Amino acid sequence: MDADLVELKVAVARMSERLDMMSKVIDKQAATISDLVALSNQGRGAAWILIGMGGIAGALISKLITFLPFLVK
């Protein structure tokens, strides 16, 4: 009976230690995911800026093409 109790205490101690280690790992993963989300948001903002700049550049080129024949003559 005492051997079973000792084995149970050892098993509970091991489980407690593993839970503590898993908690630390999960905290690190949460921090890493937060960093990745921040980088993703930066990339999404940069993509919208590039799309806007491309639209402006396309509009300017379109206007330049319409005025180009006047400059050549």
pLDDT at 2: 81
Digitized pLDDT (tens) for each residue of the chain, 73 residues in all: 688 889 999 999 999 999 999 999 999 999 999 999 999 988 888 999 999 999 999 999 988 888 877 766 6
> Cα angle at 10 between 7 and 12, to 5 degrees?
110
pLDDT at 73: 63
pTM: 0.55
| Cα torsion through 7, 9, 13, 18, rounded to 10 | 50
The CA distances from residue 58 to 46, 48, 50, 68, 70, in Å, are: 18, 15, 12, 15, 20
**Residue extents of the structural domains in the chain:** 1-73
Q: Cα–Cα distance between 3 and 32 in angstroms, integer?
A: 43
